[in-house]
């Protein structure tokens, strides 16, 4: 299951986010979205987890959990849509 994670502190790196979510199951990939010009974090990203039930547990436990001084917002990612 692909998870959308927002309100990520700008000091958080992908490895730290992967370690956090790995407590709940196997993490396939982590991507923190950065500004294309500066490279600075935009404060959100995606975590892809192998097992849907483990991903659901991560959503329940990590939503509103404080991580590096900010409360994370975690939900199931919506499918990517294409513009017409």
Domain region containing 31: 2-76
* pLDDT band per the 50, 70, 90 thresholds, residue 83: low
Asked whether residue 61 is assigned to any structural domain, the reply reads: yes
Across the range 55-80, mean pLDDT stands at: 95
Asked whether residue 25 is assigned to any structural domain, the reply reads: yes
* pLDDT band per the 50, 70, 90 thresholds, residue 27: very high
- pLDDT > 70: what percent of the chain? 98
Asked whether residue 72 is assigned to any structural domain, the reply reads: yes
State the Cα–Cα distance between residues 60 and 8, nearest whole angstrom. Answer: 17
Across the range 52-75, mean pLDDT stands at: 97
Count of domains forming the chain:
1
Q: Are 75 and 59 within 8 A, CB to CB?
A: yes
What are the CA-CA distances from residue 50 to residues 13, 21, 26, 29 (Å)? 21, 11, 6, 9
pTM of the model: 0.90
Asked whether residue 17 is assigned to any structural domain, the reply reads: yes
> What is the domain-level CATH number for residue 52?
3.30.70.330
- Give the chain's mean pLDDT: 95
Asked whether residue 82 is assigned to any structural domain, the reply reads: no
């Amino acid at each position: 299951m692909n998870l959308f994670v927002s309100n990520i502190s700008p000091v958080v790196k992908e490895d730290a986010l992967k370690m956090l979510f790995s407590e709940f199951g196997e993490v396939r990939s982590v991507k923190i979205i950065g500004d294309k010009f500066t490279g600075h974090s935009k404060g959100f990203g995606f975590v892809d987890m192998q097992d849907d039930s483990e991903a659901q547990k991560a959503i329940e436990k990590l939503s509103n959990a404080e991580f590096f001084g900010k409360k994370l917002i975690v939900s199931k990612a919506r499918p990517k849509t294409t513009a017409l």
